[in-house]
């Protein structure tokens, strides 16, 4: 038995197993095996194996081969027509149920279509760049002591330079700095001009389409400008823009290239580019080196493209060591470098100081989850109603089974029915989608800037696929349930009710549905409350009737003189930016001895600003009016800065010195009460008013007028007379603040809308269940009525079960939503409204009213019916 280990060829065995009827297989294989072993001894392994294979082939005879299964599938296929027909008939027969299903699914699907389009659009952002998967950017995390780090999309020029010089394995790296702004003079015309500075490697990293000019040199010389085709057409209509001269700030710039306008799905867009060497030259002339400081990380961006053989981890390791090197020379605020993939910018984490648009993964996640919940709710409706209705279809299943339908076939039938419903809904949903799209995009200007929600034809296929998936999932449980029915039981029992009495699933689904609806209502009202809270929050200064006007590069004093003519304007002040609306500017400040340093947020104002805005001075005095050339000597600070630099009480702080930058030692002239210069999600930190009216970008007009709108028009007319180039950009302070908190408003609108949808869907489902219950228990009700039950007691009897479910739903929803908002969603808000009992109760009230109306109306109808009518036909 030395050949014991030799076996027949495996593939032959597999072949045998494949074609042979299972009942013959064992014996056949056994015989072949025995024969094989005998051959093995007599003729050797090769011969034995050959014989085995031959025998396997010889056995391939009609009586051994199993019946073709294609035949079975063919029947399924033939039956499709039948399934289709019966489905259509049953949909037509149950008009109410079908309408509820189609309508509910359509509404929720339209929301999902919106999300699918949005996701695919966001995913396609920045993919037009060649090798987009190798392009990354450097991001910064600024960390003060052990506080939570602040994350920025921007970085320092220093980091960008060290990246270019010291990190190996990069194909190219480019530094971009925003943002140059000036008036462009071309001949006699003047245009407002905004552009980022970009260095010469810009086109090595990005594949924006350079139409004219040399990609390798267009941005190398100082005072070079690349225009987009759109800008070029505006600046030089009908002329060749190349080598033309543009005069900006008394400097002439040369046009060295024309680039195609960045496509819509580029995360950052520009109308022109200026060579970075221009910026370098200008900064060198100032003889200050703040621009190369490690902490000057507010408006610079570094993008790089990896070599094919370099991994991002290798670059990250080098960046980490560069950051460690720089941080070792820094004080308490450290900056860490990390990277972000280009394709991840649009959908990535929320970073401050974005170069362009970013929706952020948080918003995407929230929207995705909400859409899923909505479709889930509609799916539950279908499941619920189908199971309830299956009572009627049990007989059909019974007959089908008797005639020879298999479980699988019945399952297929009902799945197809679900798919038909969902595809019908899709058509309706697609129409709703177009209705919904503009509403959604109009929610906020950012959405309009970054989303189009246009879909390519291929998306229609995705939609269809989505509808079928929805159909299969929604129809899964009812199909499974119906296919499991036993023919004999179904056909024998006249009342099949018993079969269905044990199904608790329906109740569970209703509870889940209403829990979600409740959660939505509560969320919407909490978001609304937070929004109102933020608007009415006492910021620490007075914003009423203040109109902020952007100077657009005009001289503040000249502009001020224009507006002083208008009698309704009682006072005018100047400032660098509008506080409390999200914009922040900061600089490093040091104590007099240079030992303490901290980031201090700044606003540059004139002497009129503080009284106009109604800031309360705790100590010291306001700035004194000064000429524009007079040197800046004093500063007004907030309370927090006193603690940071250990300046003592406000009174003690007056007269002490703070150093801003290398040259400015400023004496504290006044201390203002803490106020909210940023949005409410951040705490109040160190803040200082600098007395630099010459740097003003805004005028703040205090208006006293009966007719505000009329006055605003007057102001606008005055502006247009004064400056023909720039459009008038002025808005009331309160409106600006409202815009700053628009995320809450957007959230309120979205959640409110989804709440409305889920409630509608749930109510529809409840209505369906009510109809079903009333129908099936009609006889019972009639008998009870004959025996003397009152209508009131009948309604109570019928609706009690549902009310219990609603009660359970609210018991689950209230604490979980409360927890969600209290500990997760609002936890990063420094100042927030308390979640009131009213919000919680209100939601429950709404749900109960809706629930009671839908159920009550049905049971009332049943209870009112004449027992003689219903009992007669037995």
66 token code pair:
């199993």
Give whichever of 39 and 686 is closer to other proteins, judged by the CB atom: 39
**Residue 10 interacts with other proteins (CB under 8 A): yes or no:** no
Q: Residue 55 or 745: which CB sits closer to other proteins?
A: 55
Residues, the chain, total?
874
DSSP 821: I
From 33-41, 476-484, 528-536, 603-611, give the range in contact with other proteins by CB under 8 A. Answer: 33-41
Least distance from other proteins to the Cβ atom of residue 70, Å? 24
- Which residue's CB is nearer to other proteins, number 59 or number 223? 59
Ranges within 563-582 binding other proteins (CB under 8 A): none
The single residue among 40, 59, 515, 547 that binds other proteins, judged by CB under 8 A, is 59
Contact (Cβ atoms closer than 8 angstroms) between residue 622 and residue 610: yes
Q: Which of 29, 333, 353, 760 binds other proteins (CB under 8 A)?
A: 29
Q: Specify the DSSP element, H or E, that contains 254.
A: strand 251-259
- Binding of other proteins at residue 50 (CB under 8 A)? no
Ranges assigned E (strand) in 65-165: 135-144, 150-152
Q: Which residue's CB is nearer to other proteins, number 26 or number 828?
A: 26
Q: Is 24 or 566 the residue whose CB approaches other proteins more closely? A: 24
33 contacts other proteins (rule: CB under 8 A): yes
Burial class (CB in 10 A: 0-12, 13-18, 19+), 69: exposed
The residues pairing with 603 across neighbouring beta strands, listed in sequence order, are: 689
- Cα distance between residue 194 and residue 272, in whole Å: 7
Least distance in angstroms from the C-beta of 8 to other proteins: 8
Pairing mode, if any, of strands 664-672 and 634-638?
Answer: parallel
Site map 777..796 versus other proteins, x via CB under 8 A = --------------------
The only residue of 20, 32, 602, 757 in contact with other proteins, by rule CB under 8 A:
32
DSSP of 499-564: HHTT--HHHHHHHHHHHHHHHHHHHHHHHHHHHHHHHH---SS--TTEEEEE-TT--HHHHHHHHT
Q: Is 61 in the site for other proteins (CB under 8 A)?
A: yes
Stretch that binds other proteins, among 29-37, 512-520, 771-779, 787-795 (CB under 8 A): 29-37
The answer to whether 692 touches 627, Cβ cutoff 8 Å, is: no
Q: State the nearest-atom distance from the C-beta of 39 to other proteins, in Å.
A: 11
**Which stretches does DSSP call E strand in 37-117?**
none
Q: Is residue 31 part of the contact set for other proteins (CB under 8 A)?
A: yes
Residue from 55, 199, 280, 685 touching other proteins (CB under 8 A): that is 55
Strand, coil or helix: what is 144? Answer: strand
Q: What is the dihedral of CA 572, 577, 580, 582, to 10 degrees?
A: 160
Identify which range of 23-31, 175-183, 199-207, 406-414 contacts other proteins by CB under 8 A.
23-31
Binding flag, residue 26, other proteins (CB under 8 A): yes
Min CB(44)–other proteins separation in Å: 19
User: Considering beta carbons, is residue 62 or 457 the nearer one to other proteins?
Assistant: 62
Which DSSP letter does residue 693 get? G
Which range in 56-64, 401-409, 646-654, 796-804 contacts other proteins by CB under 8 A?
56-64
Return d(Cα 356, Cα 262) in angstroms, integer. 12
The whole-angstrom separation of Cα 511 and Cα 505 is 10
Positions in 373-402 near other proteins (CB under 8 A): none
Return the number of the residue (18 or 63) whose C-beta is nearest other proteins.
63
Binding mask 119-158 for other proteins (x = CB under 8 A): ----------------------------------------
Task: Please provide residue 248's backbone torsions phi and psi, each rounded to the nearest 5 degrees.
Answer: -135, 130
Confirm if 712 and 730 have CB atoms less than 8 A apart: yes
With CA atoms as reference, report the closest residue to 690 among 710, 728, 664.
Answer: 664
Does 28 participate in binding other proteins (rule CB under 8 A)? yes
CA distance 162 to 319: 9
Rule CB under 8 A: choose which of 14, 17, 30, 489 binds other proteins.
Answer: 30
Binding segment (CB under 8 A) for other proteins, from list 61-69, 309-317, 319-327, 771-779: 61-69
Question: Could you say which of 43, 46, 47, 58 contacts other proteins (CB under 8 A)?
Answer: 58
165 alpha carbon, distance to own chain's centre: 37
For other proteins, the closer of residues 36 and 645 by Cβ is 36
Core vs surface per residue 353-390: b (16+ CB within 10 A) or e: bbbbbbbbbebbeebbebbebbbbbbbbbbbbbbbbbb
H or E element at residue 428? helix 407-441
CB of 20 to other proteins, least distance (A): 11
Phi, psi of 684 (to 5 degrees): -80, 125
Q: Does 9 bind other proteins (CB under 8 A)?
A: no
3-class SS string, 457-474: HHHHHHHHHHHHHHHHHH
CA angle (193, 198, 204) in 5-degree steps = 135
Q: Which is nearer to other proteins, 32 or 159 (CB)?
A: 32
Residue 35 in contact with other proteins, rule: CB under 8 A:
yes
Q: Which is nearer to other proteins, 61 or 329 (CB)?
A: 61
41 binding other proteins? (CB under 8 A): no
Binding-site size for other proteins (CB under 8 A) equals: 18
Question: With binding defined as CB under 8 A, does residue 734 bind other proteins?
Answer: no
CB of 50 to other proteins, least distance (A): 14
Nearer to other proteins, 67 or 329 (CB): 67
Helix, strand counts (H, E) of the chain: 28, 22
Contact status: 1 vs other proteins (CB under 8 A): no
Q: What is the spatial distance between Cα 850 and Cα 22, in angstroms, rounded to a whole number?
A: 59
Residue 63: CB minimum distance to other proteins, A: 5
Report if residue 34 touches other proteins, rule: CB under 8 A.
yes
Q: Does 627 bind other proteins (CB under 8 A)?
A: no
The distance of closest approach from Cβ of residue 40 to other proteins in the complex, given in angstroms and rounded to an integer, is 12
Q: Which two tokens stand for residue 360?
A: 């952020």
H or E stretch at 181: strand 170-186
- Toward other proteins, which CB reaches closer, 29 or 711? 29
Q: Which residues bind other proteins (CB under 8 A)?
A: 24, 26-35, 37, 55, 58-59, 61, 63-64
């Amino acid at each position: 038995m030395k050949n014991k280990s030799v076996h027949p060829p495996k593939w032959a065995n597999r072949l045998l197993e494949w074609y042979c009827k299972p009942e013959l297989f064992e014996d056949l294989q056994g015989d072949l095996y025995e024969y094989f072993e005998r051959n093995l001894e007599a003729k050797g392994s090769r011969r034995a194996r050959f014989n085995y294979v031959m025998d396997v082939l010889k056995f391939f005879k009609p009586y051994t081969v199993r019946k073709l299964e294609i035949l079975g599938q063919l029947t399924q296929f033939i039956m499709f027509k039948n399934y289709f027909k019966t489905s259509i008939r049953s949909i037509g027969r149950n008009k109410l149920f079908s309408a509820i299903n189609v309508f509910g699914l359509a509404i929720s699907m339209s929301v999902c279509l919106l999300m699918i389009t949005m996701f695919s659009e966001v995913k396609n952002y920045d993919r037009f760049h060649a090798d987009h998967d190798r392009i990354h950017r450097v991001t910064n995390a600024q960390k003060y002591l052990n506080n939570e780090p602040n994350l920025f999309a921007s970085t320092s020029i220093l980091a960008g330079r060290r990246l270019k010089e010291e990190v190996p394995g990069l194909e190219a790296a480019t530094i971009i700095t925003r943002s140059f702004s000036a008036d462009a003079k071309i001949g006699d015309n003047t245009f407002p001009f905004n552009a980022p500075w970009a260095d010469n490697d810009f086109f090595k990293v990005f594949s924006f389409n350079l139409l004219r000019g040399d990609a390798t040199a267009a941005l190398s010389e100082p005072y070079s400008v690349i225009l987009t085709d759109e800008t070029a057409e505006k600046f030089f209509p009908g002329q060749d823009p190349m080598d033309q001269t543009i005069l900006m700030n008394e400097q002439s710039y040369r046009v060295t290239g024309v680039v195609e306008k960045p496509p819509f799905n580029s995360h950052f867009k520009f109308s022109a580019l200026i060579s970075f060497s221009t910026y370098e030259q200008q900064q060198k002339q100032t003889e200050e080196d703040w621009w190369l400081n490690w902490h000057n990380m507010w408006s610079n961006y570094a993008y790089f493209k990896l070599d094919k053989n370099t991994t991002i981890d290798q670059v990250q390791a080098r960046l980490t060591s560069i950051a460690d090197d720089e941080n070792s020379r820094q004080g308490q605020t450290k900056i860490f470098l990390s990277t972000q993939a280009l394709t991840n910018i649009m959908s990535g984490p929320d970073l401050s100081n974005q170069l362009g648009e970013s929706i952020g993964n948080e918003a995407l996640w929230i929207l995705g989850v909400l859409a899923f919940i909505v479709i889930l709710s509609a799916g539950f409706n279908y499941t619920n109603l189908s199971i309830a209705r299956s009572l009627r279809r049990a007989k059909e299943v019974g007959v089908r089974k008797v005639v020879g339908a298999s479980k699988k076939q019945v399952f297929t039938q009902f799945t197809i029915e679900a798919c038909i419903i969902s595809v019908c809904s899709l058509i309706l949903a697609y129409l709703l989608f177009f209705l919904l799209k503009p509403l959604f995009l109009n929610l906020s200007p950012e959405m309009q800037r970054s989303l189009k929600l246009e879909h390519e034809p291929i998306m229609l296929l995705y939609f269809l696929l989505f509808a079928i998936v929805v159909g299969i999932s929604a129809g899964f449980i009812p199909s499974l349930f119906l296919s499991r029915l036993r023919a004999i039981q179904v056909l024998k029992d006249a009342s099949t009710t018993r079969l269905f009495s044990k199904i608790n699933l329906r109740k569970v689904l209703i509870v889940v549905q209403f829990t979600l609806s409740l959660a939505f209502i509560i969320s919407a009202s909490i978001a609304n409350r937070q929004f109102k809270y933020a608007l009415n929050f006492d910021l620490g200064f007075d914003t009423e009737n203040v109109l902020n006007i952007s100077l657009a590069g005009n001289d503040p004093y000249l502009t001020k003189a224009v507006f002083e003519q208008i009698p309704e304007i009682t006072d005018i002040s100047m400032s660098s930016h509008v506080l409390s609306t999200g914009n922040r500017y900061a600089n490093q400040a040091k104590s007099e001895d240079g030992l303490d340093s901290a980031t201090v947020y700044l606003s540059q104002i004139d002497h009129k600003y503080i009284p106009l805005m109604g800031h309360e001075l705790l100590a010291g005095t306001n700035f004194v009016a000064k000429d524009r050339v007079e040197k800046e000597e004093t500063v007004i600070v907030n309370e927090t800065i006193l603690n940071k630099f250990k300046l003592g009480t406000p009174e003690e702080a007056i007269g002490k010195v703070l150093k801003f930058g290398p040259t400015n030692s400023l004496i504290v002239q006044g201390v203002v009460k803490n106020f909210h210069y940023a949005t409410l999600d951040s705490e109040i930190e160190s803040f200082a008013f600098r007395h630099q009216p010459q740097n003003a970008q805004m005028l703040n007009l205090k208006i006293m007028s009966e007719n505000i709108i009329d006055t605003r028009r007057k102001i606008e007319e005055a502006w247009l007379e004064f400056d023909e180039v720039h459009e008038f950009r002025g808005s009331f302070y309160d409106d600006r603040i409202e815009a700053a908190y628009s995320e809450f408003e957007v959230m309120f609108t979205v959640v409110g809308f989804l709440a409305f949808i889920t409630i509608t869907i749930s109510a529809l489902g409840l209505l369906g269940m009510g109809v079903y219950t009333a129908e099936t228990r009609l006889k019972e009700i009639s008998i009870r009525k004959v025996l003397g039950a009152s209508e009131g007691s009948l309604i109570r009897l019928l609706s009690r079960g549902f009310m219990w479910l609603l009660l359970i739903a609210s018991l689950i929803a209230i604490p979980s939503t409360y927890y969600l908002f209290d500990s997760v969603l609002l936890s990063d808000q420094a100042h927030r409204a308390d979640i009131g009992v009213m919000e919680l109760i209100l939601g429950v009230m709404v749900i109960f009213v809706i629930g009671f109306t839908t159920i009550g109306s049905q049971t009332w109808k049943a209870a009112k019916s004449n027992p003689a009518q219903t009992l007669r036909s037995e």
